[in-house]
Amino acid sequence: MALSSRVAVITGAASGLGRATAARLVQNGARVILCDLPTSDGVNVARKLGVSCHFSPTDVTNEDDVAAALDLAESSFGEPVNTAINCAGIALAIKTLSKKGVHQLSAFQQTINVNTVGSFNVARLAAERMSKIRPDTDGERGVIINTASIAAYDGQIGQAAYAAGKGAIVGMTLPPCQRSVLIRHSCKHNRTWFIHDAAFSRTSGKDAKGAR
């Protein structure tokens, strides 16, 4: 499926990897829904990217928000989403125990909830929509990409929560890649992949709430 045929939802799309991914897709003719928190710069980013791009305020852990983004894609572009790219995430650097005290459980839970549960929430709801698409000439209905990290295998000091969440993304992405699972869920020709990113300029480490 050519990029010009893509109708995509991209999470964490107001900055960093998500924004860069959205820009590249739009440049190549794709139509894109930018998903990020209402407090993000999503409206301005969508305006800069042009008429092939719309912003949908989205907390990836909220089912209704994600469903609304998928609905917006279909109502705006006349066809359902065939591409979902999970870039939203929190990148905390907190030691398990330091002079400042013990790692707060709430911070660990929030990181897992956004990075892992949020990615799964988007993937599962997007897969449901894609399962109803007629396969193209290559037999493809859609593609889902989850963003893991090198930290999943080589986490650094202070990355307990981040590495755990990214490792979980690797683990949860592999099962849907198996052909038998896709057939059982009537999504035989959906492709699910993950990528490992290295360090780059982004906002997820500055504002945890703004990175969803």
Residues with catalytic roles: 162
Do the beta carbons of residue 151 and residue 199 sit within 8 Å?
no
Nearest residue to 145 (alpha-carbon basis) of 200, 87, 212: 87
**Pairing mode of beta strands 97-98, 7-11:** unpaired
Q: Which residue from 69, 77, 74, 95 is spatially nearest to 212, judged by alpha carbons?
A: 69
Rounded to whole angstroms, the Cα distance separating 141 from 80 reads: 10
Helices (H), the chain: 16-27, 42-49, 63-77, 105-112, 118-130, 151-154, 160-177, 179-184
Residues 32, 23: Cα–Cα separation, whole Å: 9
Side-chain half-sphere CA neighbours of 106 within 13 A: 2
Strand partners, 149: 197
Strand partners for 190: 142
